[in-house]
Structure 1
């Protein structure tokens, strides 16, 4: 990173460097694109119309700048991205960005091997697509198990409410009331609402993850479709875990009161721990998906 910043300052001080080419007829921007150095690449936006004289240049193998993007990045350059599927998304975003920079007539130019930039990209990233599919399916299956378990728990909790049901007979009809004993308490209403939200959120999460499993896993799906489904599934799963914990903690406020109020308070404090643990474990993945899918200017 430090070397990159030094090169950026060096180019700004000596603008003529942008016209220098190596033995393979590649400028510093061609090398930058190949090695995914965004800071140096962004200088193309500062030089204005002159970029149209640099981007079409071809090397000794008839590769233009977009061909260089088609080659797969080194694994070390993708290590900071969480998950293989998001690494594929990063590569697609980079290809899309450089494609918009290249003149239209050069986007389908073939190199000496007879490959267009996109054909080269597809060939180079075929293995990454396969690895991304395996990673997504593995992650999705694990999340679906958790979501299904939560749905089962909160569904059962909806019919075994804290305090049970009023079993006395109605004076008018002679039938049992069947009304929850604590139905008039605010805490009981919070329990019911939280339990319902947890059930609906877990069911939604299952359906979203199911849609990921049944996807085509085409190359272009890794750009927006699959990452958006993944973040939606993780968010709904997080919501179901949180509301399940709330329902569990609130249920003790329904049962314990007055002198025993410390019991539900203590339980709620410990109940926050699984939610915080989930956030900590999934934080990097959340940030990578959101920044690439929703915050990137390339999408």
Structure 2
């Protein structure tokens, strides 16, 4: 049995489907703060799939063999809505799930984030870089919460010989993103489809590297299945870098939208550059992303088009 916390979320729902397709029994746990039942309702008739509504800041008593901990709001709009709870999910959630893993002797994977690097002073970012994070800023509830979760994972590994895996996930996109999550890909697509102005911050020259969700899930599964000595942290993301303006132009091109671009002040502590160094993932997991941004945007745009028009069916 594989436990996926945050399993009804964007990445979690894709991971649940991938694990079911591979023949696993999957226990999906979500409190539905940002996750949606609709994301996994296509699995409800499968006898190898279970769904539990639960908040990981409280202990969970189940019998499982592997744990993927994806429980945490990942977009600034949602993690800044209740910053104290965001920190609790990362820290208390990690403690509870590590305790569960220790009790049932399960292998456990932490979905960490590129945000542990903050506004980086090193580019691209290797796993050896310790980061440049504002510990008291509006993003700290997420950034520092994830950094503390990594600390807990490695302390459990050293103190209790717990088999751990830590993945640092860079910007991921694809179907089942929320239209209101505030992340740049979903923002641009929804604005373009609605004919609203495309909102860029600063001068639009800050960069991100976008990884399609199927590539990311493949990396997570390979990390979980890797030998015990492979603990991570390991960067998982697409190293091809785009400016925000380039992304906006590509979305406009694919959607055929006539939306104009408007510019707003850059939010506090917003990273200027974000690009993963994935040499470790290539060497250790034989993993690298295969889906170019333009190809990944097409099904993502089709998903949002169907969602906004009310034409979605369960997958």
- TM over 0.5, yes or no? no
Tell me the TM-score normalised to structure 1 length. 0.23
Flag the structure with higher helix content.
1
Larger Rg: 1
